Amino acid sequence: MHRPISRRTALKASGIAVALPLLESMNPAFGREFDPPKRMVMICNALGFHPPSLFPQTTGLDYENTEYLNLIKKHRRDFTLFSGLSHPDQMGKEPHDTELTWLTAARNPGLGGFKNTVSVDQVAANYFGNATRYSSIALSSNSRKSQSYNSNGVMLPAFDRPSNIFARLFLQEKPREQKLQRQQLAEGRSILDFVSNQRNQLDRRASSKDRRQLDEYFSAIRQAESELTESEAWLDRPKPRVEADSPKDISEAADLVGRARAILSLVPLALQTDSTRVITVVIQDHHAVPDIAGVTSGHHQLSHHGQDPAKIKQLKIIEMEILKCFGDFLSQMSQKKEADSRLLDQTSILFGSNLGNANAHDPRNLPIILAGGGYDHGRYVSFDRKRNPPLCNLFVNMLNNVGVETDSFGTSNGKLSW
Amino acid sequence: MMSPSTDKPALNSTVTAPPLNHPALLDHEDQCAFDLPLDGPEAKRPERLGVKADNRSQVFDSRKIRPHAEPTARLCQGRVNDESCSSAWLRRLGTESKQVGKSCVLIWLLLCLAPVTQVAGDDLAELIDTSCIHCHDEDTETRLDFSTLKREFANGQAYRKWVHVFDRVDRGEMPPRGEAQPDASVREKAIEHLKKQLHEASLKTQNEFGRVPSRRLSRIEYENTLHDLLGIGGDLARHLPSENESGSFDVIAQKQEMSSVHIRSLLKTADLALDEAIQLGYKPNMNPRKLDYYNSKYFQMWVDRPVRNGGGTVFKTDTDIVTFRGANYVLRSDHNGFRPQVAGKYKITIKAAAHQPTSSITVSLKRQNDKQGQSELFAAWDLTGSDYRELSTIKYLRPDDFFYVSADELDPAPDGKVIYNSQPAEKFKGEGVKFRSVIIEGPLETSWPPQRTHQLLSGIKWKFNEKNILGRAYQPQLIDDRVKHAKTIVKSFAEKTWHRKVSEVELEQLLRLSESGLNAKKDFVAAVRIPLRAMLVSPELLFLKGRPGQLEEVDLARRLSYFLWRSIPDAELLKLAKTNQFSKPDILTQQVDRMLADPKHKRFINDFLGQWLGLDKIDSTSPDTFLYPEYDDVLRNAMLGETREFFNHLIQENLSAVNLVDADFTFLNRRLAEHYKIDGVEGETMRKVALPRGSVRGGILSHASIHKLTANGTVTTPVKRGNFVLTNLLGLPPNPPPPTIGSIEPDTRGATTIRETLEKHKDVETCALCHRSIDPPGFAMECFDPVGTFRKRYRNSKEVKRERTPGLRFLHKDYTLGLEVDPSGQTPDGFNFQGIRDYKKHLAKSKEQIARNLVSQLIAFSTGAEVQFADREVVEEILEATKKKGYPVRSLIHSIVASRIFRNR
């Protein structure tokens, strides 16, 4: 069982991190004498991929490259393409509510009584605990909405500004800023301390029926307190240095691809410096018209192509750009080395979507690519299109891959074998 | 049916109810045995089909269902029961209960003491024996087995099952058609008996534990609360986690979430709010000043630039600047000389006229923010003819905001040319807007530091200090002891926030937070700010609570205020509460009237309609700009305005709830009237318009806002609209489709219509059972396209060019007209309608159900809990009392507020 580190341990550990030699152009957290840790990355393109352009006709090792797969063919040995996987019971209230459940598999999102459940990345994050500066990082191309949900089923806000996350991970605060941060954390903690003492005041007034609500509130207070304490501990630990410039934020919402690229380029840096071991990324913007030659309508509108060839043509332009981004990301992940292996081999990467067919908002037959992680790759695996096995079965594999000992997650009924 | 089959799969034979009294089931969330909610409309809404697809759950598989006259009736019923009875405990089995503790033991003890009614021989037995048990026995493949279902109405699980039994029998759905029907007297007797039992059980729980658990403020309520407490404005809710998408109001206590993410965001939001409340920087320029586009170098740059480099869309006359574009970076205020120095209210006045108008033109003001990409439409006005109009609006701006003036709804030149191919701009003949001046006043403060800072840090005098210490130009002049000063401030804010006297002990605890700062003679403001921040995240502010039984008056005042103002009570409400005036019914009525006359009631209108009708989700899909070029933010706001003003009018004029379905008036401005093809409405202000005879408009089913939010992206689907009518308007939600059924793949090529696609609903009996109710309202609404335009033929996107002409609308109506719309149909009760008008007339006959649903929605929204069994009696009383006058909406609100549901916890 993994235990969160105390402030003292963190301080001790900081000495090691600083002493490591520089390898490559980076300052990785692990030298040859260490076993590099396993990581998990989940990337969602929330509007799906036009299925005919993605899925080949033949399965197995000899599948033919489709229009889309051509764009990432040089990584062919480093990924497996799945079709016919999905979460059961995803008919939600709003057609895009499956964005809420891609990583949680909670049923019927948005319908009466819906409550989200923990997302698979957070199970891994809880397992890693405070071993890294951030137990997980949620990133998004265009909004603060992530697909990461804590064990209460509450969404963890995403970072959507690359410069902001870069600063948090790699830019050492000036002593004055550090002092200010420390003050703020201390103030936050003393406030929470005060508020938790309010309980006595309240309990007298509250009925027994209240206790659930108030219990939840006070346990949230305690949790927040310990999170602030951990943040404070990390304040004393120097941040890793990277030889990369802080990325520029792209304010134009229309530059969807530029934004996705900027966000994705931070992932290898964050992983290699062991700033975190769990990252989720959402690529989506429902409203903007992506600034790509040949595209004149919004991404979301185009996803509802209604079989109009003109719209499908434009949709494919956008989706191909996103796939190219993903291809470049895989290149970066395979170029980075640690302890004689590639960073890619240490990282299970899930790339796909919560929609199998965005034109019909169909949440079945999801496009799913599993890359890296040391799996035996290179195949196209097609499951029963009528009776999809649970995507959660693959999540179980991924959890096991990073070291979480479990035989179930969400709606799983076993491990996926292929 | 008498002999149990031996080959039955195990998973189908066992699970009908969880083991009663199992400790794990008795704690946590809404599943506490004494928590009996979910029996209002909410419970009728089946949720979560087969919650766990593992062997704990009974997954419905039509092949396994025994032959029956109407297999699907059983299928659906099974699902209803599935949610209400099984999903909750199954969900819980999955989540480890951490809080099995003291309360659990207590509940367990109480359960053991709960009386167990006789199984046989009561008034229910005959009905069950003659009409139910032969399907619902131990061999049942539904979720209902009367041989094990005990008459334990005090048990949450059993209670919920019985409520469903009651509803199904009471509505005549069970026994199903085609089965032998019970004697009327047997049925009646059973129904009466069950009703009494359930009512008593529900009422007993309410009396003992209260109807509603403490609920927390929603994020919007928290924002309003900060606004009203601190005298600030702006969007603060965005810093808080979004509310649980649970399919009901965000104030329903059972569904609310709380986690450390909330706590940390609350801390942050409170911090930001205090930053805006405490303004001690240099006194900003508050004089009226010009946003001088005319002499701005930045603007001139775009005048001089050729069109290929992004210029050429603006030019100058002797007195004005002229623009030919909509959203325009050229005109952003920050680059042309204005950005708000401090957060506050600003008055922006523009003087503008139409340039070369051939029809109506819209001039608008939009806000943008450094961090948020999307612009927000602040205000839009009509320009007609060549007269200049002076137009102004007051808005809250922050230092990271900027705004720009914009020209919308522009037509191209008579020769068909657009600005990009008709240079220079001076020679272009198309429509544009000319701006004479833009004047900014603000921040609109009467003093500096502003009044809100004086009020919050009461008793402190401020002295200007050139040196700008700690980022402040004003320093506190402490005439007294620092602790004493701090105490005054903290005390006054505590009383304001908590609506009660604060004890010395509490004050001491609060001041301890400032201690180090105060003693060390450090920054006084920073020190005193800490306890203020603590109060803003304290449970007393965040939760609405009270003792079971009748609410104390101050808690009643809070409930009332959060109902109609979505925020803290004002001084008058508190004064009445402190002198126990709310026990007088006419005082309560007066106060409701006063609150509904206060502008703050708009928050109630917006929030209630936003969630009840789903207006909050109007942007969740965006219409195709080529198929529906008429849609833009100006139209969007007018759409929302129509529905809000309409509902508000029903309240203000106390008009019948039946107007929701069919009315002979609506609210329009020029833009929306043009959209509806109704003549004679001028100007941008929404006003009441009597509809012409034979108009398809009137009632919310004809509101463009509703058409927009019930459309599926770029096409309409009768299923979604039918579901809206049944669920949102009538409160009788249909069962969701079986999990294996997907949605219809939209096809806009125009070969088939959606009606043809839906034909198969008729052919397959499994579909027909629900869809004969769902589809007809949707068919009637097919005459409205996704943006609410009345249509006789569909628009096709086949072979359109999809070429953009930014800023110019109506240039290329880039679609072709396709097949004809068929808005006719037949309702399940056999009424044939030709279109929306017939259908509305027919639907209006269900006015009692419409009123019942409205009352239920208002009760849930105002109290934080769905209608429970014991509440039904109250709902029916309210309906009875208002029936004669046709359920006037304000009277409904008055009756709810006066009812025991509202006055009791």
Q: In percent, how much of chain A has pLDDT > 70?
A: 88
Rounded average pLDDT over B185-209 = 91
Range from A316-325, B39-48, B460-469 that averages highest in pLDDT = A316-325
A384 close contact with B: CB closer than 8 A: no
Query: Which residues in chain A have Cβ-Cβ distances shorter than 8 Å to B863?
Result: none
Rounded average pLDDT over B4-20 = 33
Query: Which residues in chain A have Cβ-Cβ distances shorter than 8 Å to B622?
Result: 286-287, 298, 300-301
CA B377 from chain centre, in angstroms, equals: 20
Q: Where are the alpha helices (DSSP H) in B864-888?
A: 869-883
> How is residue A161 written in tokens?
């500004």
Range from A88-92, A169-173, B56-60 that averages highest in pLDDT = A169-173
pLDDT at B62: 32
Rounded average pLDDT over A370-379 = 96
B322 close contact with A: CB closer than 8 A: no
pLDDT at B604: 98
Give the sign of the dihedral formed by CA B803, CA B808, CA B809, CA B810.
negative
B87 close contact with A: CB closer than 8 A: yes
pLDDT of residue B109 exceeding 60, the answer is no
Closest C-alpha to B664, from B639, B641, B689? B689
Rounded average pLDDT over B121-131 = 84
B540 close contact with A: CB closer than 8 A: yes
pLDDT at B82: 34
pLDDT at A6: 40
Q: Which residues contact A361 (CB under 8 A, 6 or more apart)?
A: A95, A96, A98, A355, B712, B743
Q: How far apart are the C-alpha atoms of B298 and B276, rounded to whole Å? A: 31
A414 close contact with B: CB closer than 8 A: no
pLDDT at B798: 59
Alpha-carbon distances of B249 from B221, B222, B859, rounded to whole Å: 13, 15, 11
pLDDT at B630: 87
Give the confidence band of B48 by pLDDT, cuts at 50, 70, 90: very low
Rounded average pLDDT over B490-516 = 93
> How far A359 CA sits from the closest chain B CA (Å)?
6
Q: How far apart are the C-alpha atoms of B699 and B827, rounded to whole Å? A: 19
More confident of the two residues B39 and B852? B852
Rg, C-alpha atoms of chain B? 31
Q: Classify residue B825 by its DSSP letter.
A: E
Q: What is the pLDDT of residues A275-317, one digit of tens each?
A: 999 999 999 876 677 888 888 777 887 888 888 888 899 999 9
> How is residue A351 written in tokens?
């790339």
pLDDT of residue A25 exceeding 50, the answer is no
Determine whether the interchain pair A214/B216 forms a contact, defined as Cβ–Cβ distance below 8 Å: no
Give the confidence band of B808 by pLDDT, cuts at 50, 70, 90: very low
pLDDT at B744: 67
Query: Which residues in chain A have Cβ-Cβ distances shorter than 8 Å to B530?
Result: 187, 190-191
Q: In percent, how much of chain B has pLDDT > 70?
A: 83
Q: How far apart are the C-alpha atoms of A180 and A43, rounded to whole Å? A: 35
Q: Write phi, then psi, for B688 (nearest 5 degrees).
A: -70, 130
Q: What is the pLDDT of residues B269-278, one digit of tens each?
A: 999 999 999 9
pLDDT at B625: 78
Between positions 44 and 73 of A, the ones with CB within 8 A of B are none
Closest C-alpha to B659, from B856, B850, B892? B850
> How far B347 CA sits from the closest chain A CA (Å)?
27
pLDDT at B512: 94
Closest C-alpha to A129, from A274, A5, A233, A221? A5
Start-to-end CA span in chain B (Å): 47
Rounded average pLDDT over B36-40 = 33
pLDDT at A52: 95
pLDDT of residue B450 exceeding 90, the answer is yes
Rounded average pLDDT over B373-382 = 87
Give the confidence band of B742 by pLDDT, cuts at 50, 70, 90: low
Q: What is the pLDDT of residues B668-678, one digit of tens each?
A: 999 999 999 99
pLDDT of residue B433 exceeding 80, the answer is yes
Rounded average pLDDT over B854-867 = 96
pLDDT at A300: 83
pLDDT at B83: 34
pLDDT at B75: 32
More confident of the two residues A326 and B621? A326
Q: What is the pLDDT of residues B355-370, one digit of tens each?
A: 999 888 999 999 988 7
A418 close contact with B: CB closer than 8 A: no
- A121 C-beta neighbours (distance < 10 Å), count: 31
pLDDT of residue A17 exceeding 80, the answer is no
B60 close contact with A: CB closer than 8 A: no
Residue with tokens 């059924």: B741
pLDDT at B257: 87
Do B684 and B670 meet the contact criterion of CB atoms below 8 Å apart? yes
pLDDT of residue A105 exceeding 90, the answer is yes
pLDDT of residue B23 exceeding 70, the answer is no
pLDDT at B739: 57
Cross-strand bridge partners of residue B656:
B888
pLDDT of residue B19 exceeding 50, the answer is no
Q: How far apart are the C-alpha atoms of B701 and B394, rounded to whole Å? A: 33
Residue with tokens 């934080």: B864
Query: Which residues in chain A have Cβ-Cβ distances shorter than 8 Å to B803?
Result: 296
Alpha-carbon distances of B298 from B311, B325, B403, rounded to whole Å: 11, 17, 15
pLDDT at B24: 28
pLDDT of residue B89 exceeding 50, the answer is no
Give the confidence band of B17 by pLDDT, cuts at 50, 70, 90: very low
pLDDT of residue A60 exceeding 90, the answer is yes
pLDDT at B741: 59
Do B388 and B352 meet the contact criterion of CB atoms below 8 Å apart? yes
Range from A212-216, B211-215, B354-358 that averages highest in pLDDT = B354-358
Rounded average pLDDT over B599-605 = 98
pLDDT of residue B806 exceeding 70, the answer is no
Mutate to test the interface with B, among A96, A101, A195, A255 (most CBs of B within 10 A): A195
CA B178 from chain centre, in angstroms, equals: 41
Residue with tokens 């999540």: A395
pLDDT of residue B208 exceeding 70, the answer is yes
Query: Which residue of chain A has the CA closest to B540?
Result: A202
pLDDT at B547: 74
Give the confidence band of A33 by pLDDT, cuts at 50, 70, 90: low
Q: How far apart are the C-alpha atoms of A303 and A319, rounded to whole Å? A: 10
pLDDT of residue B37 exceeding 60, the answer is no
Rounded average pLDDT over B844-865 = 96
pLDDT at B101: 41
Q: What is the pLDDT of residues B133-164, one digit of tens each?
A: 888 888 877 778 888 888 888 877 788 889 88
Range from A250-259, B307-316, B378-387, B895-904 that averages highest in pLDDT = B895-904
Q: What is the pLDDT of residues B321-355, one digit of tens each?
A: 999 887 668 999 999 999 999 999 999 999 999 99
Give the confidence band of B177 by pLDDT, cuts at 50, 70, 90: confident
Q: In percent, how much of chain B has pLDDT > 90?
A: 56
Give the confidence band of A135 by pLDDT, cuts at 50, 70, 90: very high
> How is residue A380 written in tokens?
């196209």
Determine whether the interchain pair B715/A91 forms a contact, defined as Cβ–Cβ distance below 8 Å: no
pLDDT at A296: 77
pLDDT of residue A237 exceeding 60, the answer is yes
Do B511 and B531 meet the contact criterion of CB atoms below 8 Å apart? yes
pLDDT at B247: 74
Query: Which residue of chain B has the CA closest to A107?
Result: B48
pLDDT at A287: 67
CA A337 from chain centre, in angstroms, equals: 22
Determine whether the interchain pair A93/B247 forms a contact, defined as Cβ–Cβ distance below 8 Å: yes
Q: Write phi, then psi, for B731 (nearest 5 degrees).
A: 70, 30
Give the confidence band of B800 by pLDDT, cuts at 50, 70, 90: low
Q: How far apart are the C-alpha atoms of B724 and A242, rounded to whole Å? A: 54
pLDDT of residue A48 exceeding 70, the answer is yes
Q: Write phi, then psi, for B218 (nearest 5 degrees).
A: -75, 170
pLDDT at A224: 93
More confident of the two residues B325 and B779? B779
Give the confidence band of B226 by pLDDT, cuts at 50, 70, 90: very high
Concatenating the DSSP letter of every residue in B742-788 gives -PPPP--SSSS-HHHHHTHHHHSHHHHHHHHHHHHHHHHGGGB-TT-
Determine whether the interchain pair B258/A220 forms a contact, defined as Cβ–Cβ distance below 8 Å: yes
pTM: predicted TM-score of the whole model, two decimal places: 0.83
Q: How far apart are the C-alpha atoms of B220 and B466, rounded to whole Å? A: 39
Determine whether the interchain pair A113/B213 forms a contact, defined as Cβ–Cβ distance below 8 Å: no
pLDDT of residue A124 exceeding 70, the answer is yes
> How far B37 CA sits from the closest chain A CA (Å)?
12
Residue with tokens 């239920």: B856
Q: Which residues contact B845 (CB under 8 A, 6 or more apart)?
A: none
Do A115 and B246 meet the contact criterion of CB atoms below 8 Å apart? yes
Average pLDDT value over all residues in chain B? 82
Element (H, E) at B391: strand B389-397
pLDDT of residue A376 exceeding 90, the answer is yes
Q: Which residues contact A203 (CB under 8 A, 6 or more apart)?
A: A214
Mutate to test the interface with A, among B714, B747, B796 (most CBs of A within 10 A): B714
Partner residue facing B260 (CB), from A198, A206, A227: A227
Cross-strand bridge partners of residue B322:
B315, B434
Alpha-carbon distances of A109 from A91, A102, A144, A355, B30, rounded to whole Å: 7, 10, 19, 13, 18
Element (H, E) at B476: strand B472-477
Rounded average pLDDT over B715-739 = 86
Determine whether the interchain pair B743/A205 forms a contact, defined as Cβ–Cβ distance below 8 Å: no
Query: Which residues in chain A have Cβ-Cβ distances shorter than 8 Å to B52?
Result: 411
